[in-house]
Each structure stands twice: as C-alpha cells, then as structure tokens.
Chains A and B, each alone.
Chain A
Amino acid sequence: MSDTKEQVKQFILEQFLPGAEPDELTDTTPLISGGILDSLATMKLVTFIEQTFGITVQAHEADEDNLGTLRDIERLIRSKR
C-alpha cells in the first residue's frame, strides 16, 4: 500500500474502527455505504486529509465517489497535488 493510503488507513482505523484488525480494512472496503463513516466522521476525515496533505476538498467533493474507498481517497488526493 502506498504511503498516502497507509496514512489515511491508519487514521480511519484509529478514529472509526477501534478494535478492528488492520487487514479488515482493504483498498476496496466500502467506507460510507458500509457504515464506517457517517456524516460527522466524513467531515473529520476531510479535515485530516486537508491538514495532512495540504489540499482543499470542496463540500461537493466529500461524497461516495471521492471518499467511498481507500482507493478513491488516494485518487482524490493525487489529483489535487
């Protein structure tokens, strides 16, 4: 897993999946439709991404398409750097 993905994965595990085995969370695990991120958690994640990677995520971008899986998130971050 790339560095970017790994950092985001760690954040999600710590904040929203305490007690889970790390390998439960894969590249394609559905984060929003799978009940891991609710609206508040999504906002927290966006703040983390913005602060860690120095990018800006627009409100309309904080959705299933861009944040639905770790793979989607990595793609979003890459597109903004």
Chain B
Amino acid sequence: MPAADVQHLLETTALRSPERIAVTEPDRGEVRYAELNRLSGLLRDYLRHVGVGPNDRVGFFLPKSIDSIVSIYGILKAGATYVPVDPGAPTTRNAYIFANCGVRAVIVHGHFANQLRAELTSLNANPVFIVVPESEEALVLRDVLEALRERTGFIATSTHCSRPDDLAYILYTSGSTGKPKGVMLTHRNALSFLDWCTETFQLTEQDRCSSHAPLHFDLSILDIHLPIKHGASIVLIDEKTGKDAARMAPLIARHQITTWYSAPSILALLAQYGALDQHDYSALRQILFAGEVFPVKHLRALQRLLPRPRYYNLYGPTETNVCTYHEIPKPIPEDRTQPYPIGRCCSHLECMVVDEQGMPAARGAEGELVVRGPGVTQGYWNLPEQNAKAFLTDARGNLWYRTGDLVNEDADGNYIYLGRRDRMVKKRGYRIELGEIEACLYQHPEVEETGVIAVPDEEYGIRIKAFVSSRGEKRLSIVALKAFCAGRLPNYMVPDLFVFHPHLPRTSTDKIDYQALKAL
C-alpha cells in the first residue's frame, strides 16, 4: 500500500530495503535505511518527550548533513511540521522565522546555538533546544539522542499518521514587505508532487541522487523525499563544495550520480570550470534544472560535454513546486539563442493564463500563469492579506494560485516565460520591461550595478527610477546617462530619475532587492 504521508515513505522503504544506503555525506559518513529509520524514530520519541505534538512546528538550523535528514524525518514522524532555515543566513533572520511560526523545538548546530537562543529570547520565543555539537564526523545527532535517552529514559512511540491536509513543512521565502514569508505545504502537496516525479523521472533503487539545493529551497523536496520513496541513495553536496566546480565535478563522477538537480548557474559553472572531460559521467542519466532561465549558449556547451543524460527544464514557484516542465531536445541547434520554453503543465496540476482582469486570456495571448491542484499551497503562515492577494477565484468559484509570472503559449502548446508581472509596467500606454532598461545601463562602461523600478506618481502616472552604482570614483553625469539610454532605447524608456548609491541592496539569494529600492 502506498504511503499516505511523507514519513511513511521512509518507514515503507526501510522495511523493504533496510540494507540499502540511504544518505551519503561524502568523505564523512553514510547511513543505511534501517539506521536512518531508527535514528529518526529516536528523534521522534525525544520530541514527543519534550512536548511536541501533532501539527506543532519544529525548526532545524544545521549545515547540510545526515543529521539534517534525520531531523526532517524525526520531526515528521512526531506528526509535526518541519521548518528548515538557511544555515548561511544571519542568525537574526533565522530566529525571526522560528519565532514567526512559533516552533516548539529547534535542532541547532553548536556553532549557532548561543546566538540563536539570545535572538529568540529577545523575540519572546522559548522553544526546546536540541544542540548538535560541532564535529569533524557525521551522525553527531545519533550520539546526542542516545545520550538523551540514557539520561531521560524517553520511551519508544510509534510514527504518527498524518492527514493529507496536515502541514508537512513550511518553506520561508523573501517577502515583499522585506520580511520572509512562510509557504505552508501539506502532505498532499508533497505526495502529489512526488507522484508526478515518479511518473516523469522513473527513479529506481539503483539511482544515486545529488542533493545540491539547500534544505530550505523547494528543490530539496525532490532531492530528499523522491529517493527515499524509491529506496535510492542521496548524495549530499555541502554548501562549500556546491559553489566550487573543481570539487563538485569529480564528486559527481566518483559517487556515480545518476540524477542531478540544481539551478542553471551551477551547471554553467560546471561546464566552464569543472573539467568535465576528465571524469566519468557514464552513470549520469538525467539533469534537471530550475529557478532561472538557462542561457542557451551555456546549455548547449553543457550538452556537448555531457551528451548522454536527458535534460529537463522545470519551472514553478515554491507555492506550487514544479508546475510546468520541458524536455530539452538533442542536440540543441547551433543557431538557437531563444531560451527553451517552461513547457507543459505537470499532470497533477492545472494551469491557465489570465489577463489583467483575471479572466482567461485568448489562446496564445500573453498573461499571468495561474495554477490549481493538489500540489498548490494553502497559503502563507499567518499572513491573511498576502493570501488574499496570492489567489484568484474563477467564475466557478475555484481558487487559482497567481504565480506573478507572465507567459504565453506557443504553437506547440508549450508555455514561454516572458518575465515577472511586476517587472513589466505601462507608461502612457507603452509597455516597458524594466529589465530591458537595466540591460541597457549595464552596457555603460562606468555602471557597476543598477536596479530600475517604477514609482507611482500623481502627475505623471508612473516614473521610471534608476538606481546606479558606479565602477570608479568618478561621479556619473545624469545628463550623460540619459543621453546614453536615449541612444539605445525608445524615448519613453529613458529613466526619469537617476539615484546614485555606492552599493545596491541585495536579497539573501543575491538578487537586487527591489523592495528595498522602493523604500529608499
């Protein structure tokens, strides 16, 4: 019988294939399914012992490790909701997240424990702490749990059976108000997505899947839970290795990874600096990428170096996980420059394109992509206003999630990604893609960084405001910048206002922080 909740994916696999390797932490250790099941069971029991009950939230603040996988499953087995945070983010931000969703307990790496405790106290939050001391070895949490059992004698319990609409995890993403917002995701959300993955990627227990993405990114839902569902192996890529092509490339070959999933920028890095022709990638059978547009130039270069795997472009916000996908044809034509489509709607979801009024757009016309189905979030944690804005109701009363992305459907029935809805504005009837103005400014030799926004204006409707940081010491001339733009863009796209800053504010994912610019 198929598992009815995420934690039973592990329970079922451990019964079927206890001796198969579940998770490898390269050069540090590995754990088989039986042991992963036992350890997550221990954590479950301790969490219950300290008062964690069904639907409580439990956070973890750990580097990518076997311990973090034990944490995920221990929390789920207690019937609670796991809340991962970025181990590289400031502790203040992570404390905000934990306090925001009222975690009952938190599993934290020794390095951060004291500061986290101080920050949480200042937010009037007082969860139970489970501290995992720093160590050169893997599976430190095992020692912690066994010591706790010695000391407290907590009893063995059984794994909770969650209901489809119980929350499995909350993933926090950048909020437009500047504060992170928690996307609530249920067991139904997870399992319906994983079923689509099973159908599309055909994993077997022979597969070895990389876990490149951090555990607070929704790519990790595929990376961690899909292999566990099938009895395959997870090979963890730690944060440092994940940025270093020279270390990553040999690791992928050495561990005979069969399925890779990451942002395109990482793949482009591997193609350029990974010396891929030096290693044996015969095991690699599929490469999945998502999160940003993959410039065709780099995708073609990668495909030349690694011609054997199947390549898939996956698209979808955290709120839906993957909602459309497209398999890249082989070979990529030499003269193609246009990025590939985001493709067709996944079989477990429904997609629709709507116009500015929220009505279905004509076939082939551009509009906002909206999604509905079992993979779609119920909303954000404790943000009723955001929830109201994020969904639209159709004529039949159905709720659709608004992705905020503009698309149109091509002649083959594939969706083409056109840009963010809020990065496209209308000025006096003209359509302006703010990114296009930025691209123009980047061509100026003295421009280091730029961020262009539209500000509402009583007199002019909207004004285009360009923030610029310059390369050198020289103060840039506004008149010269306007002339530069006027020589390359239609007049109505020349920024109305220029503001200079030594550095522009950036988000935790290192993109220009447009919300911060709006506040300046």
Q: Chain A interface (Cβ within 8 Å of chain B)?
A: 16-21, 24-25, 29-30, 33-36, 38-40
Contacts and interface: CB of A to CB of B under 8 A. Distances in A.
Interface in B482-520: 482-483, 485-486, 491-492, 494, 496-500
Interface of B: 428, 460, 475, 477-480, 482-483, 485-486, 491-492, 494, 496-500
B494 A19 contact: no
Nearest to B479: A24
Contact of A36 (B475, B479, B492, B499): B479
Given A18-B497, A19-B478, A19-B499, A30 B483 contact: yes
A34 B486 contact: yes
Contacts of B475: 21
Contact of B479 (A17, A18, A40): A17
A25 B479 contact: yes
Name the residue among B478, B485, B491, B494 with the largest chain A CB count within 10 angstroms: B478
Contact of A40 (B460, B485, B486, B498): B460
Contacts of B500: 19
Give me the 7 closest cross-chain CB pairs, A-B, nearest first: A35-B486, A35-B494, A20-B478, A35-B482, A24-B479, A34-B483, A24-B477
A34 B428 contact: no
A67 to B, nearest CB: 14
Nearest to A36: B482
Given A19-B499, A38-B491, 13 more contacts: A18-B497, A19-B500, A20-B478, A20-B479, A24-B479, A25-B479, A34-B482, A35-B485, A35-B486, A35-B494, A36-B482, A38-B492, A38-B494
A42 B16 CA distance: 77
B477 A20 contact: yes
A24 B492 contact: no
A39 B427 CA distance: 12
Contacts of B498: 19-20
Contacts of B460: 40
26 contacts: A16-B496, A18-B497, A19-B497, A19-B498, A19-B499, A20-B479, A20-B498, A21-B477, A24-B477, A24-B478, A24-B479, A29-B479, A33-B486, A34-B482, A34-B483, A34-B486, A35-B482, A35-B485, A35-B486, A35-B491, A35-B494, A36-B479, A38-B491, A38-B492, A39-B491, A40-B460
A24 B480 CA distance: 8
Given A40-B428, A40-B460, A34 B499 contact: no
Contact of A34 (B479, B492, B496, B497): B479
Contacts of A29: 479
Contact of B483 (A20, A35, A39, A40): A35
Name the residue among A30, A35, A38, A40 with the largest chain B CB count within 10 angstroms: A35
A29 B477 CA distance: 12
Name the residue among A30, A39, A40 with the largest chain B CB count within 10 angstroms: A40
A38 B499 CA distance: 19
A32 to B, nearest CB: 8
A47 B482 CA distance: 23
Nearest to A25: B479
Contacts of B491: 35, 38-39
Nearest to B477: A24
A75 B153 CA distance: 95
B293 to A, nearest CB: 29
Contacts of B480: 24
A38 B489 CA distance: 13
A35 B497 CA distance: 11
A55 B287 CA distance: 70
